Structure 1
């Protein structure tokens, strides 16, 4: 019988290659990034520090609200994504267990977690853990080491 070596910690499973935007990114630019990269979540980062996470749904809600009035729609070119970001970013440590990560995602009703380490300036981004990563780890056979996923897949 072959033993499957499954990851147990966030750092073993997290994506290390992901898309980020700065707080000064306009909503129109953010929507273009989300669509072109086929993302459901967009990390907002400044100088390597996690500012927050914005879901594609939040972007769409803002666009729908603005579409009710042309004057508001015209403003979308100047409104930045920092207006959608929560003040305290939710993050998880790379040393946390996958069970803790899954529990946090379920409790907060979110589909991914920025993985960060403490720094004097705030949480320093080192990775991203998505619900798809957790499902893959739980239910799919582990790929051979030479084929291990490096990240960058849409979540």
Structure 2
């Protein structure tokens, strides 16, 4: 990694935790502690690197709808957690972010465990709008939801 590459505190923590057995699980619980609403889907972070996050949720009764598939709002929560982890692992030191909106398209029934992926084009890290591409896949690799979470990026105020 080049000397001038900034490693965010979240990415540093991920690198430390994920190196050990059970570390990904503990890191995921830490994220849920910091943002308690994410406990509702009980997602686990599988992979985290600058501009990319991959998480998963198990198909279980607590996240199912009336037809026995994973509820689309549970999938949106998974993808929002993926976006947040991705943004926190990637954002340059002088910037900050806040979600501005989410657009999603349901493309197939979600009848299994779900993997959520958030991806950011690194060239977008500047003040203004930033689109985080989100995708949810079933255990066969079928895309069940795709969309964009729009972030507002601004400069941090000088101290």
| TM-score greater than 0.5 by the shorter chain | no
Normalization by structure 2: what TM-score?
Answer: 0.26
Scaled by the length of structure 1, the TM-score of the pair is 0.27
More helix by share: 1
Question: Max radius of gyration: which structure?
Answer: 1
- Structure with the larger RCO, 1 or 2 (CA within 8 Å, 6+ apart): 1
Q: Which has the higher strand share?
A: 2
